[in-house]
Structure formats: C-alpha cells, structure tokens
Structure 1
Amino acid sequence: MIDDTNYADCLTLYNFNHVDKIKGKESFSYIFNDNINYIRSLYNRGKIRNITYDTIQKTILCGSIYLGYDLFVCPHCGNESIVPHKCHSKLCTSCGTKEAKLRAAHISSIALDAKHRHIVFTIPDLLRGYFIKDRSLLNLLFIAARNTLACIFNDAKYRKIKKKKIYLKKNKCPYSYKNDRNKIVFGSVLTLHTFGRDLKWNPHIHRLVCEEAFDTKKNKMKNYSFISYEKLRKTWMYQVLDLFSKQKLKHFHYLK
C-alpha cells in the first residue's frame, strides 16, 4: 500500500511514461493519483470504506514493484528482466477489462444454446438509502430477483394451488419453490450494479435469463419466450417489499 509518510518516493518507482502509451492519461490510475490528497482526506473522515481505499491504492500502483514482481535471469548471458505484478482490481482499466472478457467467455461456454433476454430489476429512490447504511441488504435484491422469476416460471403451479385453496406452509427457506417437486427449473445469470449511468447511488440487478426451462414433471424443456411485463413488475414489487418487511427497518412500513 501507499505509505503516507513517504508517498512521493513511492511513486518514483512507478513508470508513468510506460502507462502513457498503454492506458493514456485519462486512465483511473492518473485520476486517482492526481486527487490522492482529496481521496485520503475522505478516507480519514470515514467517507470511504477500507476496501475502496485499498482498491484505489492498488489501482495507482498497478504495474509497479510495490505490488510484487517476478525476476527472470538468463542463465547464459546473465541479463535480468523484472515483470511487476498487476493489481487484479475490477476498478483498474487494464485488469478490469481483462477480467470482464474472461467472465463473459466463461458464461458463454456454460450457457445453453438458446435465446436469452436481458432484464433489469430496479428499486425506487426511497429504498436506496437503506442499502447505503447496511450493504448486507444488497443480498435481498438477489433473492427477490430469483424468487420473481421462480414465480413467473411456476405460475401454473401457483394458480393450481390457489384454485384448490390448499394451505401453503411458510418455509424458512427464502427461495421460492426451491424444495418443491414437479417444478420448472430455469437458468439465469445475475449481476449487481450499485450505481447508475450518472454514477449516483442506484443499486439494481442486471439479469440474463434463458427462455428455455426444464419441466421436471414432464422431463422436457419448455419455451418461455413470452413474459408478461405487468406480471413481472408486480411480482418484483411484492418480493422486494415482502423481504424488506421481515428486516424490521426504521420507517419502512410508512414508506411501504
């Protein structure tokens, strides 16, 4: 990490001329480096989390020997070559781009050869403040998004139970239809974004959903190319509010 007492000396080992050719002066490394005093003041006032401050420092020092290095020596001529370690941070323009491409390739390799659709699950402004105070609540968005599609894909089963007026036992498991028999099994990939296009705090879920699902009762694949938007929206609203109601959050019932 960057030593506050000897910060200038640390950066002398950072080859900015090399970065000019690869990243350009508009990279995050330069932006953070130019504003390191302001960033440090925010951290000292408790405005930046420890993990954020550490990531910023790693991004600045990406490609320098302060993150470690590998030394290669030629056994014949004795020439030495130093290869500095990268920061491997998602925030870094170099490391983050590489990680994103590797993740995209991995998802493509395991996805079914079928049509997929992109769905974005958002929340209203009034609820976003709860996630800033307690980031563990972000996990509720994943549960709510998963349960929303589970209810959509298993809608026929829900209507059948409702028609027969069968008493539904409350399960301690937060995931709907997880332990049920004869259910529709669907596949999707979820990604959390905590900011919007304007870079303001706006937690939301991006979801890639396969339109082919497996019917365990009939032992075959079924097509779900049509999903009612109104039903999707109402189910998402219910799932989010229901999960929040169980958290005993201050003033939540008034907002609800």
Structure 2
Amino acid sequence: MCSTTFEVAQIIERFSIQFQQQYKPNIFILRTLNTIHKCRTASLGGHIEKCDCCGKIRVSYNSCRNRNCPKCQSSKQAFWVEDRVNDALNVKHFHIVFTIPAQLNEICLLNNKWFYNTMFACVAETLRTFGYSHYGVESGAICVLHTWGQTLSFHPHIHCIVPAAGITLKGKAKRIGKQGNYLYPVQMLSATFRGKMLEKIKFQLAKTKVLYKYKSLLNVLWKKPWNVHCEPPLGNSKQIVKYLGKYTHRVAISNQRIKNIDESGVSFFYKDYSDKCKRKILKLSGVEFLRRFSMHILPYRFVKIRYYGIYSSKGKSLLAKTKKIIAKPKETIQERLLRLTGFDVYKCPFCKKGKMFEIGILPRIRSPIIRLFKTKLYVDN
C-alpha cells in the first residue's frame, strides 16, 4: 500500500474552524468531519497486541468506519467485489453512465437527498422500460452514485452495470444485446431519462413553490441533449464487477492524491480528461477544499449502491433459476481480508514471524460532540 505524508484529517484539523465560520455547515457535516479527523487515533480507542514469537507490543487504534473517510474503504471494496462476483450472472455486462447537466446542480443542492433518490428512480425506470420494450425481459442493474469530478467539483452521475440477459414474462432466461456490443440506442435512452427527470423535478419545484425561479431553465434543458454513456461489455461478469468495484467505495479524494498542505492551502493531483488524462496539480485554499469535500458527504443513511430487476432482493428467486448458489464456510473478517488482499492483520510487524494476540483494550475517549470545533456550532434549521 502506498504510504502518504498528508491526509484529509490534517486538512480538517488545520482549516475546520475557518470553514465553519465562513460557511456554517449543518450538524451532520460537522459530525462527519469530526469523525474523519478522529479516525485511528486514541479518541476512538483501540487494542494492545503482543507477538507470540518476539514478545513485542503493538498499539492499534480503531477506525471510524465512516463511508466518507479515505482510510476506511479498501477492505469494504474488496468484500463487496467478492460478494457481487458470487451473485452476478455469468454473462457479459454493459457499463452505462447517466449524467445530470451542470445547470441542475443548484436545484440538486436545495435537497440533495430527494434529488439523488429521484436520479436512482429515473435510471431504474428507464432501464426497466427499455428491457421490456426492446427484448421483452425483466433485466437487472447494479447502480452506484458518484457526485464528484477529479477537482472535487460537483458532478452527480450514476454508474450502472446491466447484464446481457434477463427473464421473460414466462419465466425463462433470455440473452439480450445485439451484435455483442450493442444494448440500447443511447439517444433514446438519454431522451427517456431526461423526460422522467425533468417531470419529477418540475413537480417537486411546484410542490415547494419555487418553480417560477427555474421554469426558464427547465425549458432550456428539455431541448438540450443529456449525456448518457454506454460502453461495450468488458469481459466476463468477474471482470465487470471488479471494474465497477473501482467506483463503489471511493470517497471524493484519497489521501494518496494530496501533495502538500500548508498555511496557504492544499495541493493535490488530478487527471485532466480534457487534456489526454494528463496528471496535473491543483491548489485550493484550505477552506475551499473543505467546502468542496463537504459537498460530497452523502445524506444520513443514504444508500448509494442499489440493485434493480433480477439483481434486487426480490429478484433473487429469478437469479436462482439461472445459477446454482453454493454455500461457503463462514470466514472471519481478518481471514477474508488476508485471502482477498494478502494483508495479514495478525502478522508481527517486528519479527515478521510471530502472530499478534490481544492483551488489552484501550477505551475510546469520551468527549463532547464535535470536540474538534472550538467555536459555537452552527446548525441549519
């Protein structure tokens, strides 16, 4: 694993008070930033281990396990990929990306939870409609929400993998897709998604009595082509699930991308897709970095990975018609991590021979909520 000198937690520690004073984030954002700041520190407690070979002691602090934390996602990603490989049909899968025009960002930020749920609903309705209209099947999809671009800009889009198979109304398995590389006409897919989204947005804005502010914008977006990207199938189910796994448990920025932190701000690496994917460096003020980072903190208990059709919980019985489910012996988290990543959490880091065993527990430090922030909390009503 690549080591890094700088972390998001350090940016939170250095610039959080200025960020709070300038933007007055809500209590959930503050809690999340505070949790990330405390990750793998004495504040969250830990455990003391001793090697059964050399006798040396190691102190390990607990992770925060927050889904927005750059330190806490790698094992979750490995576990998710394995689970989905076991569930996925052994057919080709298409990768489809549904993107929202940047002009809708302001509306999205008025109520991001409603907007993201609406995006998922419209994506699912669109794919289901096309499955029946083009092939007469109940297809499926695994969908993942992303909200960021490489520079931490706000860029909501949903990645989907769709199997080249489905279940007919008579309950029979049927392969779908034409000439191996074609699933649905992209322009029709885009127009259908656009229509469903704009209808729901218009209804919601009218309901909240702010439609008059955005009516002209919606009229413009009705006439504008929306960006829906469909890629040819990428190998077998295992390969496509691993490919999607790169997107499932990412956070807005990893610690490895942070180049420098100083009083003047934060520098980090990004890929410039408009310039042949060249690796470049962007510098932001610390407050601006936290503002952008906070835009990508998902609402409380929001589900960002969703399953539809034959991949939904209700569709498991349909999947059983086309594949055999084999029970596997139960593994511990540590055993599974070793098998998937090769990292042995019990191996002694000193002598490299012995195994560490627990000899004590460090209690977490009980402190007031948002202990990091010294000034008055600002809470949005």
1:25 to partner: Cα distance: 1.0
Higher helix share: 1
User: Counterparts of 1:115 and 1:82 in 2: how far apart (Å)?
Assistant: 46
Q: Residues 119-147 of structure 1: CA distance to partner in whole angstroms, max 9, x if unpaired?
A: 11111122111111111222100001101
Q: Write the distance in 2 (CA, Å) between the matches of 1:150 and 1:64.
A: 46
How many residue pairs get aligned? The number is 206
Match of 1:52 among 29, 53, 58: 29
Separation in structure 1 between the aligned mates of residue 49 and residue 74 of structure 2, nearest angstrom: 27
Q: Distance in 1 between matches of 2:137 and 2:203?
A: 27
Please tell me whether residue 128 in structure 1 is matched to residue 105 in structure 2: yes
State the secondary structure of the residue aligned to 2:73.
Answer: helix
**Does the 8 Å CA contact 2:40/2:64 hold for their aligned counterparts?**
yes
Amino acid at match of 2:10: Y
Q: 1:31 and 2:8 equivalent?
A: no
Residue ranges of structure 1 left out of the alignment (5+ in a row): 1-20, 158-182
Contact in 2 for aligned 1:128/1:201 (Cα 8 Å): yes
Q: Report the RMSD for the aligned CA atoms in angstroms.
A: 2.8
Q: State how 1:73-222 maps to structure 2 within 5 Å.
A: 82-136=59-113, 137-155=115-133, 184-217=137-170, 219-222=172-175
1:168 equivalent in structure 2: none
Query: How has the CA–CA distance of structure 1 residues 125 and 227 changed in structure 2, closer, same or farther, with 3 Å as cutoff?
Result: same
1:175-206 Cα distance to aligned partner (Å, 9 max, x none): xxxxxxxx622111111112222311121111
Match of 2:247 in 1: none
1:42 counterpart (4, 19, 40): 19
Unaligned 5+ segments in structure 2 are: 219-381
Name the SS of the counterpart of 1:112 in structure 2: coil
Q: What secondary structure, in the 3-state scheme, does the structure 2 residue paired with 1:205 have? A: strand
Structure 1 residue identity aligned to 2:199: D
Measured in 2, the distance between the counterparts of 1:204 and 1:150 equals: 18
- What TM-score comes out, normalization by structure 1 length? 0.70
More strand by share: 2
The whole-number CA distance in structure 1 between the counterparts of 2:3 and 2:50 is 28
Distance 1:104 1:144 in 2: 25
Structure with bigger gyration radius: 1
Give the corresponding residue for 1:11: none
Specify which of 211, 216, 219 is matched with residue 254 of structure 1.
Answer: 216
Alignment partner of 1:246: what SS? helix
In 2, Cα distance between equivalents of 1:192 and 1:47: 26
Pair 86,238 (structure 1): closer, same or farther in 2 beyond 3 Å: same
Taking the aligned partners of 1:111 and 1:22, their CA distance within structure 2 comes to 31
- Residues 208-240 of structure 1, C-alpha deviation per residue, up to 9 Å, x if partnerless? 111211112362323134211111111111111
The amino acid that maps onto 2:95 is H
Instruction: Calculate the TM-score normalised by the size of structure 2.
Output: 0.49
Listed one character per residue, the Cα deviations across residues 54-108 of structure 1 (whole Å, up to 9, x for unaligned) are 232222222112112235589xxx9976432111123333312222222222222
C-alpha separation between the residues in 1 aligned to 2:214 and 2:167? 38
Percent identical residues: 21
CA contact (8 A) 1:90 1:97 kept: no
Partner in structure 1 of residue 199 of structure 2 = 242
Letter in 2 for 1:140: T
User: Is the CA contact (8 Å cut-off) linking 1:69 and 1:85 kept in structure 2?
Assistant: yes
